[in-house]
Amino acid sequence: MQTWDQLFLEVNIATMCSGSTPYGAISNGALAISDGQIAWVGPESELQSYDAKTIHRLDGRWLTPALIDCHTHLVFGGDRAMEFEQRLSGVSYEEIARAGGGIRSTVRATRNASHSVLLDSAMERVVTLIREGVATVEVKSGYGLDSKTEISMLEVAQELEQSCSASIVKTFLGAHAIPEEFQHDSDSYMDFVINEALPLAYERQLVDAVDAYCENIAFSAPQVAKLFEKAKSLKIDVKLHADQLSDCGGAELAASFNALSADHIEYTTATGVEALASSGTVAVLLPGPFLILGETQLPPIDELRANRVPIAIATDCNPGSSPLCSIRLAMNLATSLFKLTPEECLAGVTRNAAQALGLLTDRGTLELGKRADLVVWNISHPRDLSYWAGFNQLHRLFINGGVVD
Ligand code: NIG
Ligand code: FE
């Protein structure tokens, strides 16, 4: 008889495997962990003789995969609370950006911040996410826009992983905005990103994926295409901030490079959705900036569903468009703003978020052989995770089989 490290009994399991039952649910289930991986999962009644070093009797609680925040900009200096007040008095995000504020103002603050200030402030945000059951966090650069600060942001991301229990996925977003030094020459800035900043970050093994902001206040589709060619030549996955404020053909562009994800996509058309479906690109919806910027153009939810495009949800945690550091609130907002179902929301922060990071074979569902990243919740049904906002029913979080205090 095999001795497992840990065994969970008397538990309901939302495996989030797509299949016959909603939430891939197994009621009265059991789940075993050995060596940080899921070693058995199924109905408790099918568990034959067993032995485990630790047995957790969970009294009818629910187990889900640990949550994944697949789109954040949580390393940054300063804040933009003043711009928040300006927007409340009627100035738009775009107007602020064009006047030299917006992303550029965070670039100034980030360039001026010390490494330890960047690390400590980002750590507080990561810890806040972990407390809600998040085990994997994607972190983007993009507030440096020079080699030194872009590298420093990615190093902070790497150090976050070394000093906390969550996995951190590092995304190079050198093409986030046009820095002041290149104000009238965005092509030269893109050349610098392609020929200097990205290769340097890549050499230092700081790049898990490449992202860009395709928008009329940032980079055009042809400029982004050049960057994506370079990423592909280095065999790095790409993803895109696409069609957030206008239809720039972002979804089509992302799909043409088989991007992992196209994010925001409020202005994506039916053709764009079809392109995402055929390339297997995940649609990452971001209710935070939608709410905070007072957007009214909804992402094409019905088309995404009709074309079976996987939908993920993320916080987009950043100081400008989304000062939101709660994946649970993002889920709740996705129900009220986008009318996603609670099941779509949970899939959006587990299975589909894992796919958006290229990590689905390893995590995102509770299946044999996957990482034992899981949460025990004090809930009576998984819908409760989208229903409640500001109430944390987390009982225990396990990452790689280890309990997180
Ligand atoms: O995802 N859209 C571009 N980038 C961020 C905003 C970053 C910022 O405003 O600082 C976003 O919304
Ligand atoms: Fe973003």
Give pLDDT tens digits along the chain (405 positions): 779 999 999 999 999 998 879 999 999 999 999 999 999 999 999 998 889 999 999 999 999 999 999 999 999 999 999 999 999 999 999 899 988 899 999 999 999 999 999 999 999 999 999 999 999 999 999 999 999 999 999 999 999 999 999 999 999 999 999 999 999 999 999 999 999 999 999 999 999 999 999 998 899 999 999 999 999 999 999 999 999 999 999 999 999 999 999 999 999 999 999 999 999 999 999 999 999 999 999 999 999 999 999 999 999 999 999 999 999 999 999 999 999 999 999 999 999 999 999 999 999 999 999 999 999 999 999 999 999 999 999 999 999 999 998
C-beta 172 within 6 A of ligand 1: no
- 3-class SS at 320? coil
Residue 319 near residue 76 (C-beta atoms within 8 A): yes
Ligand 1 atom with the shortest distance to the CA of 322:
12
Closest CA to 257 of 275, 243, 274, 283: 275
Local structure of 19: helix, strand or coil: coil
Q: Which ligand is nearest to the CA of 142?
A: 1
Predicted pLDDT at 2: 79
Please tell me the predicted confidence (pLDDT) of residue 20: 79
Q: Whose CA is nearest to atom 3 of ligand 1?
A: 213
DSSP-based three-state secondary structure for 343: helix
Burial class (CB in 10 A: 0-12, 13-18, 19+), 358: middle
- pTM assigned to the model: 0.98
Structural contact between residues 215 and 248, judged by C-beta atoms closer than 8 angstroms: yes
What gap in Å lies between CA 374 and CA 8, rounded to an integer? 11
Residue 157 is predicted with a pLDDT of 98
As given in the structure block, the two tokens for residue 174 are: 């050198």
C-alpha 7 – ligand 1 centre gap (Å): 42
Q: How far is the CA of 213 from the centre of ligand 1 (A)?
A: 8
Which ligand is the nearest neighbour of the Cα of 295?
1
Strands 402-404 and 394-399, sheet pairing: antiparallel
Q: 318 CB under 6 A from ligand 1?
A: yes
Pocket test for ligand 1, best of 176, 216, 286, 295 (most atoms within 8 A of CB): 176
The Å distance, Cα 103 to ligand 1 centre, comes to 7
- Residues 240, 112, 181, 72: what is their CA dihedral angle, to the nearest 10 degrees? 10
Question: Which CA distances in Å does 321 have to 68, 219, 310?
Answer: 20, 18, 24
* 103 touches ligand 1 (CB under 6 Å): yes
Ligand 2 centre from 212 Cα, in Å?
9
Distance, in Å, from the CA atom of 174 to the CA atom of 190, rounded to the nearest integer, reads 9
Q: Is 34 in the pocket of ligand 1 (CB under 6 A)?
A: no
Please work out whether the CB of residue 213 comes within 6 Å of at least one atom of ligand 1.
yes
- Token pair in block for residue 210: 């490449």
Tell me the helix, strand and coil percentages in the chain, rounded to 5. 40, 25, 35
Ligand 1 site, residue 102, Cβ cutoff 6 A: yes
Distance CA 87, CA 183 (A): 24
Q: For residues 107 and 179, is the Cβ–Cβ distance under 8 A?
A: yes
Spacing, Cα 115 to ligand 2 middle (Å): 22
Q: For ligand 1, is residue 241 a contact (CB within 6 Å)?
A: yes
Which residue, judged by its Cα, is nearest atom 12 of ligand 1? 321
Counting every residue, how long is the chain?
405
> Ligand 1, closest atom to CA 76?
10
What ranges in 132-181 are assigned the alpha helix state H? 147-163
- Can you tell me which atom of ligand 1 is nearest the CA of 215? 2
Residue among 321, 322, 324 to mutate when testing ligand 1 (max atoms within 8 A of CB) = 321
Ligand 2 mean position to 316 CA, how many Å?
Answer: 5
∠ CA(213), CA(217), CA(223), 5° rounding? 55
Cα separation, 354 vs 357, in Å, equals 5
Distance between CA 55 and CA 57 in Å, rounded? 6
- Strands of 374-377's sheet in order across: 37-43, 25-34, 3-14, 51-65, 374-377, 394-399, 402-404
